[in-house]
Chain A
Amino acid sequence: MLSITRLSKTYRNGTHALRGIDLEVGPGLFGLLGPNGAGKTTLMRTIAALQRPDEGRILLDGVDVVAFPQVVREQLGYLPQEFGVYPGVSAEDLLNHLAILKGLTARKSRHEQVRSLLHQVGLDTVRHKAVSTYSGGMRQRFGIAQALLGDPKLLIVDEPTAGLDPQERYRFLNLISGLGRDRVVLLSTHIVEDIRELCTQMAILCDGSLLIEGAPEGLLSKLSGRVWTKVVHADDVQAIRSQFRVLSTRLRAGRMQVHVLHDDCPGHGFSRIEPNLEDLYFHVVRQDQAC
């Protein structure tokens, strides 16, 4: 159980990256959505005790993470958004190294886990190659493998699926939802569908503030019946925009599909659809003018 209260962080250059975040995260997958620069990475790094917040508390199972960072580190699996690797070191060696750093000193079980992880992320055939020579997606998979080392009670994965091919992405999502049953998994992503499919809880962050928080179904139900769609000519979008709250516009075969939020039918040609997370995202983020 991770509970965050009034968490604020201002970088030295004056950027207000987090503004008084309050969040309760229980076991299961927790999805973090937000535009670029919203503060997702900052929040995750702060929880991972890689940087100190200016204000606020983070409690992991009742233990103050800021005061006792070692406690969170002992239970943490972390996949940073950006990382590098030592040059010339093979995946297996590097994973072993990191495993020891995580306290997996028993040789046999460590080797077994390293092996199964490499298999899980589909790297077992290239495990002797230097990670520095991997492709972007392979490297990301290696990152995932290292995050799963040990028995992390708290998994923080920052855009884990970025760069993965569809097959690997599904493999990862399956793996993580299996793991998520009895541990806290914090996941940030820009692929909205992923959250819908996996997460029991989610939050949308914008400009350092938490806009909404809750179970995806619950949040969506608030929009239920209020989202309308119509395919129009590109020149007409401007007119619709001036009249209604447009959630999104998307080019479809030379014409525009617009999603509009309206309590009742906005007009001719509009049809009601079931709201999806993307609609929710645009709804929330647009509302917040500062974003």
Chain B
Amino acid sequence: MLMHLIGFEIRWCAKQWVFRISLVVFLLLGVVLSVAPFGAGGHINAPIGIAMGLALLSLNGLFSVTLLAAQGALRDRDTRMEPLIFATPVSRFDYLVSRFVGLVACSLLAILPAAVGLVVGHLWLSDRSLMGPVIVSPYLWAVWVLMIPNIFMCCSVLFASAIATRNALTTYIIGVALYIAYWAASMMADSPLMAQSSPYAPSDTHPAILFEPFGIIGILDAVRFWTVEQKDQWLIPMTTPLLLNRLLWMGLSLSLFAFTYRGFGFRDVEGTKRRRQQQDDTWDRPGSLAWQAVARQAMGLRRDFWQILTCVRMSLRCLSRGPAFYLMALLWLFFCAVTLSDQMRGGVFNQSVFLDTPQILNVLFEPMVKLGALVVIFFSAECFWLDRQHGMHAWIFSSGLRAWSHVIAHIVTVVMVCLGWVVGTFFIGWAFHVAFGDRAWHWLAGWMFLFQSLIPLVAVGLMTLSLQNLVPNKYAGMFLSLTFVVLFTGVIVSRLPGMDHPWWRMVWVGDFHYDSMTQSTYVGWDFLMHAIYTGGLVLTALVVAGVCWQHGSFKLGKPVLAWGLSGVSAIMIIIGAVCVLGPWNPEMDTKSGRLDWLERHERTWSAEKDRPVPSIRAVSLDLKIQAHRYLCQGEYKVWNNTNEPISEALVSVPLGLRLVTLTSAQADTTVMGPYRRITWDPPLNPNAEATIKFEVAESMSGLRPGNPERYVVGGTAYLEMDKVLPVFGYRSSWSIKNAKERQKRGLPVIDDDCDERGAEDRFQLSARITANHHFQAIAPGTCVERFVSGNQVTFVYQSNAPIPFSFAVAVAKYQEHRSWFGDKEVVLYTHDHEHVDDILRGAVDALTYCESEFGPYPQPRLVIAQIPAFSSSFAATAYPGLIFLVSDKALQLKDNDGRLNYRMMAHEVSHQWWGKMVEPAPCKGASMLTETLAEYTQMVIAEKRYGPEVTTQYQQLMDPLYFSWRGYDEEPEPPLNRVERQAYVAYFKGSHAMYQLRDMLGESRINGVLRDYAMRFAHPSYPRADDLLDLFRQEVATVDEHRFEALFTTVTTYQLNLKSAVTERTESGWTTEMNVDIQVIGPLQNEAELYELRLVDGDGRIMAESQAEWGPGSHTLNVQSHSRPDIAELDPRLMKLEADRSDNSVAVANR
């Protein structure tokens, strides 16, 4: 009997559209995954990549399972077979077990093909050069540990909910709840898949790992400190939290099934009691109750209006009925609360931040749109099937309601659902702001919030209506819509070569990116263009659906209408496409297109590499900032700084900009591909001068991905001018950097230590910046003039001394704050008024310290200016005499002592010495000479103000950051003296290295070396990292030599383990024996080094400290103390770079 039932169940399921479609979709997704892998492992088939990919697919499998479960468990109800089935003598066991086993079997059959697709892809499709050896175990591991348990878990949760509630909506909502659980846990645990999250200590992630149903956080946590090589080679270990997670959810699944089994009876579920049984019998008997004919109102817009209204009211009433709706609202509230409270401490190093409008809306936007899409798909499908499902369609269709009124009623209902979702979310955000928020609430941001999310959601809803119209089965239609959304919103399709083109992102415009300085999002009202485009696509879908449908509500009355609407939608698509795709450079939009272009460029132009170019001596600019564009007219005074005559030179501006004109009185210019060629006839002789005039323009489109280094949004601007101005010569940045990619394309290996172009010229700058008269312009140098004409204001800046080619200007509305450092002023321009004192104090303290320790500050003043959060790739940046701070970074921090603001200020101010006064050669290791030294300087300055313990606290934050960031680096890690772009090396490891170096040498000796270095290598001598290290080497004692080299010239990490500590009483006090195990990972692993041990009592008071010089291996040390110690610690001062410090301290036992 049971086997027969299970067989029937599987056969039935196999006939379902959902099953068939999902089988195909998952197979294809597996193949896609093999071409476009997840995870930042080096190899496409790294075990973590396989595990992550398959785990994420099983997460998406949740949707199939939800639909299969709803269909399987509720089909008797949907088809009104329940009374027939329930009246048969089938046993509860047979009934439930066969349904459940059938569901599990079908879900596995529908989703596991993903793994097959992945294997197939890896074997035959993937690029061999990007792959390691193919072995079976990672696939089996992922299927066995992740996919099967996940699918089983989804099945039992959803089956239980379907059987318990016998309601599709509730089942669906519980499916969404599982998804939300994953999402919330990811937020809690800092999944790198979540953009907003920031790192936590490992112990804090354990609850999240347990709580997250899919084990994805668990595997990420298991590898969080691995390097790329390790990720490529090692299998993922079954860590305790991961194992517990798997056991917990399997156990939960089984008990849920058991629970369902116990609770199930072959009975109809009775509806819940109506609260309100209103019996207002005020229905006074009128004179005549006889039936009288009432004429219909003539057909017309007025009648249509009332009909649409009543349909919408009725649909909304039916859709919002029952507990499911409230469950969903509660769930969403819960999710918002988790997200926002996470956001509150979401600043750098998990500091609490000001919770203001941008913080709230930006963080709610993405989950709102993505989860909203799921909600909207469900409600749209329900709305579409409402009449049929409840057997009302014959009445509705025969009532005289016009088909188009019916369609419009559906559409309005969908819009209302979307509107409710978005407005509801906005007000949840507002309520949160009332309760915990800071700063003023920007009501006007609501319009952009609404506009930018409503259109995608409505589009999804209408797409769903159209699909429902074309597919004869509700669940199949929903599955198609879900697939569509997952494919195009998620990261899946965009990972395929060529599919990262914006065309494919159709409905979505990334993040919300609202900024309080500009009071606008990055997209702003450019979104309108996008809306037209999306609208056209949706209209097309509706027309197609209307033309194809025969019996139902969507039938288009007249072909004229169909043709008319097709025409309108085509026009909308064309207009939209022109506006949306217009600002895109078709060649450069996709990653593969870009790589091809770079390759072509390098092959065509690299011969020009060695041709001498003129140097820039003076620059004068006239920069006009408008609402969404800028125009920069300028003049270069150039001279021939070489020994040979220059007859021609290439000039180029960055891609995306328009070099409107380029003229020179003494030369001709011609367009050559991406370059212009200037030809001097007669040639420019050594030391001869020339003038070049140019005009560069750029219109900003909010639809392009934001460029953090160059933007104008509503008149507020931040422009890094080296990314705007034309430069001479072959652009080596227009080449492929990735070594593997170069090898694949047969390009020569780059192993230059230094940038070929050499150091940048320094020049005198004179800049006129014109903007709207509400705004203030900031540029390097001194503002010598400011004048208003009409509603425009112009600022004229002159540089105080020659400046490097990298400089930036900002235009915004500011308030001015001042402080003094000796007779030089420190001016702060901000939009937000918090932290003003901290920042000014940090700047003055840092200027004072640096001037007394490293040499005089060369500028007449220091200007600090806030810039919008659109500069998302950095927190602050320094130019000569000028520092920019990004709004949502340090300035957003709420911590009351202002330590991080202070530190950041000290760091940036010290760049006036480390970077500006001493400019390193553009070679590997350069950022050690800038960032690492700035980290050191801020460390000592902060210590002066806040005491030495803040340094240990700071190091406790730095070390885990170093380990987790390097886990996502795709290239092997360089040592400090060879560091390039790896911020985790220059900042986090650099900070650690300088902390140790100070321990070796002491502050005054370090500062002595640095002063010496600053004097010897002041601009223009362009030192390299080893120049500084040589100076330090003279100071480092013999005993510390290994330690010094380990820190600065190698990549060395440690795994220390304090295995046990036992103590016994002796005559002189207590003797504690500590057993230690030491592993050193790095080239100098066999050398002996000093290790510190410490005994403390229960209150943390130090009882005894000791040091020992040990090589790798096990060691024992006896330490004396006066009283009984409670805890023994190894390396208590964080002198060794170590990922997992949890085994570095133990409770002291009695012998």
Contact = CB atoms under 8 A, between A and B. Distances in A.
Interface of A: 45, 48-51, 70, 73-74, 76, 78, 80, 82-89, 96-98, 100-106, 109-110, 112-113, 115-117, 119-120, 124, 127-128, 130, 133, 146, 148-151, 175, 179
Interface in B399-431: 399-402
A151 B294 contact: yes
B283 to A, nearest CB: 7
A78 B395 contact: yes
A84 B294 contact: no
A51 B309 CA distance: 26
B297 interface: yes
A84 B400 contact: no
B226 to A, nearest CB: 55
B787 interface: no
A115 B321 CA distance: 26
Given A97-B314, A128-B279, A148 B291 contact: yes
B314 A89 contact: yes
Contacts of A116: 286, 288-292
B875 to A, nearest CB: 55
Given A109-B294, A128-B279, A76 B303 contact: no
Interface string B99-132: 0000000000000000000000000000000000
Contact of B296 (A83, A104, A124, A128): A104
A249 to B, nearest CB: 32
Contacts of B295: 150-151
Interface stretch (B326-334, B386-394, B1131-1139): B386-394
Q: Which 4 A-B pairs have the closest CB atoms?
A: A84-B391, A103-B296, A151-B293, A101-B399
B395 A98 contact: yes
A147 to B, nearest CB: 9
A175 B307 CA distance: 28
Contacts of A112: 286, 292, 294
Contacts of A149: 294
Contacts of B391: 82-85
A281 to B, nearest CB: 27
Contact of B400 (A70, A96, A97): A70
14 contacts: A48-B394, A50-B394, A74-B299, A84-B391, A85-B392, A87-B321, A100-B310, A101-B396, A105-B306, A115-B289, A116-B286, A116-B289, A130-B274, A146-B395
A49 B279 CA distance: 39
Contacts of B317: 86, 88-89
Contacts of B277: 128
Given A84-B392, A89-B318, A96-B310, 9 more contacts: A45-B394, A49-B398, A87-B390, A105-B306, A113-B292, A116-B290, A116-B291, A117-B291, A120-B290
Nearest to B406: A101
A97 to B, nearest CB: 5
Contacts of A51: 551
A86 B277 CA distance: 18
B314 A105 contact: no
Given A97-B314, A146-B395, A151-B295, A102 B289 contact: no
Contacts of A113: 291-292, 294
A76 B293 contact: no
Interface of B: 271, 274, 277-280, 283, 286, 288-299, 302-303, 306-307, 309-311, 313-314, 317-318, 321, 386, 390-392, 394-402, 551
A86 B392 contact: yes
A247 to B, nearest CB: 36
Contacts of B299: 70, 74, 103
B294 A80 contact: no
B392 A73 contact: no
A16 B1143 CA distance: 82
B318 A86 contact: yes
Contacts of B280: 128
Given A83-B394, A87-B321, A105 B291 contact: no
A84 B303 CA distance: 25
Main secondary structure of the interface of B (DSSP, over half): loop
A51 B555 CA distance: 13
Given A128-B279, A151-B294, A80 B400 contact: no
A50 B400 CA distance: 11
B400 to A, nearest CB: 4
A50 B393 CA distance: 10
A115 B285 CA distance: 9
A179 B293 CA distance: 10
Nearest to B401: A101
Contacts of A124: 283
B296 A100 contact: no
Nearest to B391: A84
A230 B677 CA distance: 119
A109 B298 CA distance: 15
A32 to B, nearest CB: 17
B308 to A, nearest CB: 10
B400 A120 contact: no
B394 A98 contact: no
B390 A85 contact: yes
Contacts of B311: 97, 101
B296 A151 contact: yes
Given A50-B394, A117-B291, A102 B296 contact: yes
Nearest to B298: A103
| Central interface residue in A86, A101, A102, by most chain B CB within 10 Å | A101
A69 to B, nearest CB: 9
Given A70-B402, A113-B294, A80 B395 contact: yes
Nearest to A179: B291
B297 A104 contact: yes
A7 to B, nearest CB: 18
Contacts of B398: 48-50, 73, 76, 78
A105 B292 contact: no
A249 B169 CA distance: 53
A129 B295 CA distance: 28
A97 B313 CA distance: 9
Nearest to A73: B400
Nearest to A151: B293
| Central interface residue in A88, A100, A104, by most chain B CB within 10 Å | A100
Nearest to B313: A97
Nearest to B318: A86
B390 A103 contact: no
| Central interface residue in A103, A128, A133, by most chain B CB within 10 Å | A103
Contacts of A106: 294, 297
A101 B391 CA distance: 16
A74 B293 CA distance: 14
Contacts of A109: 294
Nearest to A51: B551
Contacts of A88: 271, 274, 317-318, 321
Contacts of B306: 100, 105
Contacts of B399: 73, 98, 101-102
A68 B779 CA distance: 73
A109 to B, nearest CB: 5
A71 B334 CA distance: 52
Given A151-B296, A175-B291, A74 B318 contact: no
A157 to B, nearest CB: 12
A215 B395 CA distance: 30
Nearest to A71: B400
Nearest to A146: B395
A19 B391 CA distance: 28
A103 B302 contact: no
A148 B291 CA distance: 9
A105 B400 contact: no
Contacts of B402: 70
Contacts of B292: 112-113, 116
B314 A86 contact: yes
A100 B296 CA distance: 9
A86 B297 contact: no
A102 B400 contact: yes
Contacts of B303: 103, 105
A221 B278 CA distance: 56
